[in-house]
Structure 1
C-alpha cells in the first residue's frame, strides 16, 4: 500500500480521533485525497500520507534536516531505550491503547513502542511542527500516522487518547487534558542537570549559560498543574559503540550556540559514552 493510501485509510478508520482545527467540528469523510469536516473545510493528504494542520507558516530552527537524521541514527541505536522501557511498564498490557507522541520528531520513539507492544495492536499518532521531521518519520516502517500540527490548537477530538508521550518537547497542558481520556496517563520527560553533561562541557566554557542546566522552571510549572504527579529519576550511561559521536553532537540543539572551534575540537576528541539523566513525570487524568 502506498503511503498516501495508508494515511487516507488510517484517517478513514479513525475519523473520531480528529477534529477540524479551523472550526473545531468533527471530520466527516474522505473526499478524493482530502479529509473534510461537516463545514466543508478540506485538508489534503501529502504523497507521504501526512496531513498538514497548521493554519499559518512556521519558521523554526528545528527544520534542520541534518539534525533530524542524526537524531534518528542515535535514537535507533538505543539512546532513549531505558526511558521508553520505563514508560511502557506503566501502560496496560491487557488491551489496545491509543497513544500519541507530542513533538514526535522523526518517529523513532513511536516505532519503539510499537515493536515493544506489537501484540497489543495499539493505535499510534505522532505530530510535530517540523515538516522535515514528519517527512522523515514516514520513511520508516510501522503503523503510526503522522501529521504537522500546532501544539496550542491540536486537531484531535476530546477524550481521544489513552496515553500522551511528551519527551523533551514543549507542553500545552490545557490541550493535553482535553484530548486525554479519563484514566489516561500523561508522560512528560525533562532533562536533569547531568543530561548530556559531557557534551555540554565540551562545547561551552564554565562562564557560559549553556555550561549548566536547571529544570527547576519546567518542573515547577508541571507541579503547579499536577501537584499529585509522580516523579521518577532515570539515570544511565549510554555507550556510543552503535552510533557516531558526530550524530550525537548534531542531534541536539546544544551545538547551535557553540563556537566553531569548540565544535571542531569536540569532533576531533569525541566521546566513548554519554550520561542520560532525566525526570519522568507521570499524571493520570482523573
Structure 2
C-alpha cells in the first residue's frame, strides 16, 4: 500500500481523533485525497500520507535533516530502548490504547513501543513541528500515523487519547489536559544532570554554561501543574559499538553552541560509551 493510501486509511478509520485547525470542528469525510471538516474546510494528504495542521510556516533549528538521520541511526541502535521499555511498563496490557507522541521526531519511539505491545491493536499518532522529521518517520513501515502540528494548538479532539508521551520535548500542559482522557496517562521524559555528560564535557570548557545541566526549571513547572506526579529515575550506560560517534554528536542540540575546534577534537577522540540519565514524570489525568 502506498504511503498516502495508508495515511488516508488510518484517518478514515479514526477520524474522530482529529479537529480542524481553522474552526476547531471535527472532520466529517474524506474526499479524494483530502479530509473535510464539518464547516467545509479541507486539508490535503501529502504523498507521504501525512497531514499538515500548521496555519503558517514555521522556521525551526530542529528542521535539520542531518540531525534527524543521525538520530534515526542512534535510536535504531537502541539508545532509548530502556526508556521506552520503562514507559511500556506503566501502560495497561489488558486493552488497546490510543497513544500520541508529542514531538515524535523521526518516529522511532512509537515504532519500538508498537513492537513491545504487538497484538494489542493500539492506535498510534505522532506529531512534530519539523516536516523533515515527520517525513523521515513515514519511512518506518509501522502502524503509526504522523502529522505536522504545533504543541500550542493540537489538532485533536478533546479527550481523544489514553496516553501522551513527551520525550525530551517542550510541553503545552493546557492542551495535554484537553486531549487526554479522564484517567489517561501523561508520561514526560526529561534529562537529568548526567545525561550524555561525557559528550557535554568533550564539547565545552568547565567555565561554559553548557558544561553542566539542571532540569530544575522543567521539573518545577511540571510539579506546579501536577504536584501529585510520580518520578522515576532511570540511569544506564549505552555502548557505542553499534553506531558511530558522529551520529551521536549530531543527533543532539548539545553541539549547537560548541566551537568548530571542539567538535573536531571530539570527532577525533570519540567515545566508547555514554551515560543516559533521565527522569520519567508520570501523572494520571483526573
TM range (shorter): over 0.9
For the residues of structure 2 that align with 1:125 and 1:140, how far apart are their CA atoms? 13
* TM-score, normalising length: structure 2: 0.99
SS at match of 2:200: helix
Aligned counterparts of 1:213 and 1:233: Cα–Cα separation in 2:
16
Equivalent residues in 2 for 1:1-286, closer than 5 Å: 1-286=1-286
> Secondary structure, in 3 states, of the residue corresponding to 2:210?
helix
Tell me by how many angstroms 1:33 deviates.
0.8
Distance, in Å, in 2 between the alignment partners of 1:61 and 1:186 is 26
- Distance in 1 (CA, whole Å) between partners of 2:170 and 2:34 is 29
SS in 1 for 2:189: strand
TM-aligned CA deviation for residue 63 of structure 1: 0.6
Q: Which moved more, 1:100-109 or 1:31-40?
A: 31-40
Secondary structure at the counterpart of residue 118 of structure 1? coil
- 1:20-62, Cα deviation, whole Å (9 max, x unpaired): 1111101010011110101111111000000000000000000
Segments ≥4 residues shifted beyond 2 Å: none
2: distance between equivalents of 1:10 and 1:165? 20
Question: Unaligned 5+ residue runs, structure 2?
Answer: none
Give the alignment's TM-score, normalised by structure 1.
Answer: 0.99
Cα deviation, 1:139-170, whole Å, max 9, x if unaligned, reads 11101000000110000001111100000000
User: In structure 2, how many angstroms separate the alpha carbons of the residues matched to 1:280 and 1:143?
Assistant: 25
Q: Extract unaligned runs of 5+ from structure 1.
A: none
